[in-house]
Amino acid sequence: AQKVTQAQTEISVVEKEDVTLDCVYETRDTTYYLFWYKQPPSGELVFLIRRNSFDEQNEISGRYSWNFQKSTSSFNFTITASQVVDSAVYFCALSEASTGGFKTIFGAGTRLFVKA
Amino acid sequence: NAGVTQTPKFQVLKTGQSMTLQCAQDMNHEYMSWYRQDPGMGLRLIHYSVGAGITDQGEVPNGYNVSRSTTEDFPLRLLSAAPSQTSVYFCASRKSGLYTEAFFGQGTRLTVV
């Protein structure tokens, strides 16, 4: 069965610290996509990145980077030099080919507090 | 562009009342979904639709009905509200395909007393 686990419920850091948000997934599919979404205090979820199961290249976008490792079924998200505006809830999500991509399953989310 | 629009933003219901949460998207997306967000549980899928006239159940469908008569609209009906349905509800839409990202509405905060 598909499952996404974000073991860190809340993380608190001071501005300019680096922080890594963990995501571990379970799936029997060989074809799937992983996503990260951000939910700022305003409430609306915003897409950050997707990664398919055949592409294990790490990705960097500004202060954000993602590390995908199939061997450990993990898709971790690192924010470098965190800023107060990074304070939000971050969700990891999984979409499997066997469900036609219809059902995107989300983790419980990690709430990040960045203090000035 | 409006994107995904949900109404109302806030609602208080009494136990046993029924109501419909509205969701409309103007991006011509085939897929639409309803999620509920509860503390510590993330987003759980209630119902989803892959096109007009086609709907199916997600993880937590009990107590909710949906229909999809047009591509644009995907209303969620609470048949007889219960306190356990107190939650924040999100509607999302996506283009068809495994890889497509979801666009979310601003959410409806529902309290059942």
pLDDT (tens digit, 0 to 9) for every residue of chain A, 116 residues total? Answer: 679 999 999 999 999 999 999 999 999 999 999 999 999 998 999 999 999 999 888 888 899 999 999 999 999 999 999 999 999 999 999 999 888 777 888 999 999 999 99
Q: Would the CB atoms of A43 and B103 count as touching at under 8 Å?
A: no
H helices then E strands: how many in chain B? Answer: 0, 11
- The span from the CA of A50 to the CA of B13, in Å, is 37
Q: What is the pLDDT of residues B30-83, one digit of tens each?
A: 999 999 999 888 899 999 999 999 999 999 999 999 999 999 999 999 999 999
The secondary structure element, H or E, covering residue A99 is: none
Query: N- to C-terminal Cα distance for chain B?
Result: 36
Identify from A95, A104, A111 which residue to disrupt to test chain B contact, counting B C-beta atoms within 10 A and taking the largest count.
Answer: A104
φ/ψ bin of B100: left (φ > 0), alpha (ψ from -120 to 50), beta (otherwise): beta
Distance from CA of B84 to the nearest CA of A (A): 18
